[in-house]
Every structure is written in structure tokens, then in C-alpha cells.
Structure 1
Amino acid sequence: MFLVVITVAALSFIVLPTRAGEVLVFAAASTTEALNEAAEAFARNGEGRVRGVFAGSSILAKQIENGAPADLYLSANPAWMDYLEARGHIVAATRRDLLANRLVVIVREDSASKFLDLNVDLIAALGEGRLALGDPDHVPAGIYARQALEAMGSWSELETRLVRATDVRIALHLVARGEAPLGIVYASDAKSIDGVRVVGEIATGLHAPIRYAIALVAGRNNKSARRFIEFLKTPEMEELFHRHGFGLP
């Protein structure tokens, strides 16, 4: 029996032993609802059971590097896929760009903030509060957010006013709970829960393209995992991802 415990800062979860024929996907936190729905559709088609483990792409990459029993890795940033590929931890021939995304600025649903001109209003709208985002040192959403803020000339003023979350979903919930007045998250995250609304869209030209890559983990000879990658590329799944706020690469 293989048991892996993942603990990073306040994040703790257990990867339970996999069943025969089960596909274990280590996936970016921002894909939680969409990937779970895709897994249900895969099972309904008689293809087998898929189970997701969701966290920041960096956390999951490190766990795979340390031997966690993932069959597939779905990263929100090509850099972390590159990291594993360079170390021989994924099957490079199976690597695919699966999804695209956008960054948005969110507030709590009952906030008085209206749609913002991000070049003018972002710092003023923050007031005395802090800006919630994924930790820009390693979380993909935070890395993209930092690139955009640097391009807008706001980074130097905001760098010391951040709530650095270990994944983008934590940043989302900090805003939903009123613990931060503003957050920068993916467009798909903003659609995933009630209690927040979008007040600004960040131009895609201000940061590197947001691409989600998927690949088989090396040493995991799971035929169902290969089929799941192909299943995720079908028109039915493209429509599903679109409903959840994702685009195509």
C-alpha cells in the first residue's frame, strides 16, 4: 500500500492508495470543478475511474519529483511541466497543451467597487487592504499576475501589500470571505463560486500566455491515463471547459 502525505504551509492532504485501473491526476487547483466533471463523464462512458488531487502546480510538481503516485500531471504553467520533463519525470511524447485562461480582478459580491481602470484605480480600490493572489514566487497565477503588475508599473507599490496564497483557490476564497478586498485570479476561478464578482480584466498582452499542459508521469504504465488525455481533447470536453471559463490554447 502506497500512502503519500502532502503538507505545505497550511495545506495538508492525503493521497489514498489507488485502485486497480484507477487514474490519479495531480492537477492545478484552478481545474478542480472542470476536471471532476470530466472524470464523471469518463466514468459514465465506461472508461474507468479518475481521481484528482488538486493544489498549486509547483507543490504537485515537487511531490511527483519525490515519488508521489500520480499517473497524470496537469500544470497551469509550462515552466513546472518543463521542470519535470528536464528531470525525466514525465513522458515527453505525451505532453499536450490542453487549456488557456485569463486573469481577472475580483471583489467580494457585496463590495462597493465598480469596474476598475486597472492602470488608474487598482491601488486606490485596495485602500488599506491587501491584494490576494497566488504566491508570485512559485504559483502560476501569481507569476502571471506579477508580470502584469510590473507591466502596468504597479508592482513596486503593491509588492509589500500582498496576501501570498499557496494556490489560486486560496486567494479566491480570501476575497469571498472578505479577508482581502481585491484578488487576482483566473477567469475560471471567478466562475467557480458565488460571492465574488469581476471588476477588471487584465489584458493578455501584459503577461506570458496562460497555458495548461498535461502529460503522463514517467514510470506509470496506465493505459486508462492515456485514454483520459485523449478524452479531454474531445469536442464534448472542450465545451465543458468553456462552460467553466477556460479557453483553448
Structure 2
Amino acid sequence: MAGPALLLIALLLATLGQAPTARAEPNVHIYAAASLGDALDAAIARYEASHAVNIVPVYAASSTAARQIANGAPAELYFSANERWMTWLGEQGITLSERSDLLHNQLVLIAPRKDDASSVALDKPGELVARLGAGRRLAVGDPAHVPAGIYARQALQSLDEWQTLETRLARADNVRAALALVERGEAPLGIVYKTDARASNRVSELATFPAASHDPINYPLALVGTSPSDAASAFREWLAGEQALAIFQDFGFAAATSDAH
């Protein structure tokens, strides 16, 4: 009886050895502007629900994310809130492919939410300074490198308010940090993207800066590296599609004219 039993065991072991093993889902790291956080998280959740992949987002100011990638961060995708920083990253010798502008945003003035919050006439000289109040600061992303701050500086220069307000800025590391300063009442006014104001129930939107007062706020996306993985390429293609755009539009973004580089 020992012979048949041993044969059966051998057959079972052989069958188990031939059974397919579960393959680990690939990870795809995407470094993205802080202002994309809520919308991109929603897009990732939708994508992962129907694809065997783990999308790992890393959010920061576009400038910070670009520098991290240039210093060797394991990004396969870079989603910037500023074309300048995408271009800068390429100038550092980082290979970028499938680059295109996907989204568009607007710049707005916000204040802590109040039932009696009234709009601000940005074209009225001195109105913005008057609403800021004596000794108070205006929350912005740092204009030295944060895209939202760069756009804010351009807008204030266009309105002839920059010289007055430059020394009265509360400079934040990214646009979401500037939003938080206003949410907490630490700054009476702030300049953020329209999508940031829409994402918060703790601020009121007082005015939209004219589009002509600053450079277009476009969000370029690109694959990073000389050999992008199939998983990264597939996710990049999906982000450029209609299903992803509908999600971003739900969060207040608009589609940008996509010009490949």
C-alpha cells in the first residue's frame, strides 16, 4: 500500500508545483502638484477599481516635486501645476515623454467663511489692501517657487498692487498650505486656485482674478525616465481620457488644450 500512497503524494506535489503563482500588482509612483490631491485621489480610486495596479501619489508644490525627481525620486509620472517646472525638469537631463497639458485652473481671492462675506472689486485701486486690514498678511504659495504664488505675483503686478503687498505676504510651501492659513483664520485673505476654494467649506470665494492678469494655469503631465513601465504608460493614457477628465471636472478643473511636446 505504501507504493500507491507515495505515488499519489508525488502526483499532488507535482500538480502544486505547476499551479500558477499570484503575481504582485505593480506600483506606479506619480509625483503631483498639491492642488491635484483631492481630484487625483478620486481618479486613482476609480482606476484601481478596474486595474491590477497600485498607484502611489506623492503630493507637493510642483517645484518641490520637480526637484525631488531631479534628485532621484522614483517617479514614473510627473503632474505639474506649472509648465515652467516641467520644462525645468527636462533641462536637468530627466527624460520626459508623452508630455501634454491636461487641465486648466483659475486664480481666486478667498477669506475665512462668513455669512456676510462680500465680493472684492479687484479693479478698484486700493480695494484689496483695504480688505486685508492693517498689520495683516495675505496667504499665498511662495512666489519664489510655488506655481500658485508665481501666478499670484503676476496678478498683483497686473493690478499694480505688488509693491504694496510684497512685504505683507504669508508665504506658504504650497497652495494647500496657503489655503490652510485662511481656513484657520491666521490670514484674513489668500490667493489660491479655484479648485482649492471649491474643496473647502471653511473659506469664501471673494473674486476671480482676470485670466489676462497672469500666465495660463495649465497642468502638464509626462512620463518620467527612459523606460516607463507598461503600467505607468497605461495610467498616463487613462488620465488623458474622457473618464478621468470627467472626474477632474467634478472637482472644478477644466480641460486644457493638449499640445504634445
Q: Identity, % of aligned pairs? A: 44
Answer yes or no: is the 8 Å Cα contact 1:113–1:125 preserved in 2.
Answer: no
Answer yes or no: is the 8 Å Cα contact 1:148–1:206 preserved in 2.
Answer: yes
Answer yes or no: is the 8 Å Cα contact 1:90–1:215 preserved in 2.
Answer: no
Cα deviation code 1:64-94 (max 9, x no counterpart): 0110111111110001000111222132x31
Kindly report the root-mean-square deviation, in angstroms, between the aligned alpha carbons of the 2 structures. Answer: 1.3
Q: 2:133 aligns with which of 127, 136, 160?
A: 127
1:82 aligns with 2:87: yes
Quote the residue 2:15 is aligned against. Answer: none
Aligned residues: 230
Q: Which amino acid aligns with 2:133?
A: G
Runs ≥4 residues deviating over 3 A? none
Q: What is the correspondence of 1:217-236 to structure 2 with a 5 Å cutoff?
A: 217-219=224-226, 221-236=228-243
Answer yes or no: is the 8 Å Cα contact 2:103–2:253 preserved in 1.
Answer: yes
Secondary structure of 1:37 counterpart: helix
Answer yes or no: is the 8 Å Cα contact 2:117–2:204 preserved in 1.
Answer: no
Secondary structure of 1:198 counterpart: strand
Q: Which amino acid aligns with 1:116?
A: V
Q: Which amino acid aligns with 1:149?
A: L
Cα deviation code 1:88-129 (max 9, x no counterpart): 2132x3111111000000010127541110122211100021
Answer yes or no: is the 8 Å Cα contact 1:148–1:202 preserved in 2.
Answer: yes
Q: 1:137 aligns with which of 144, 160, 165?
A: 144
How far apart are residue 220 of structure 1 and its match? Answer: 5.2
Q: Which amino acid aligns with 1:221?
A: P
Distance 2:115 2:170 in 1: 18
User: Structure 2 stretches of 5 or more lacking a match?
Assistant: 1-23, 257-261
Q: Which amino acid aligns with 1:125?
A: R
Q: What is the correspondence of 1:206-221 to structure 2 with a 5 Å cutoff?
A: 206-219=213-226, 221=228
Distance 2:178 2:62 in 1: 15
Q: What is the correspondence of 1:80-229 to structure 2 with a 5 Å cutoff?
A: 80-91=85-96, 93-110=97-114, 112-120=116-124, 121-128=127-134, 129-219=136-226, 221-229=228-236
Secondary structure of 1:95 counterpart: strand
Secondary structure of 1:94 counterpart: strand
1:62 aligns with 2:75: no
For the pair shown, the structure with the greater C-alpha radius of gyration is 2
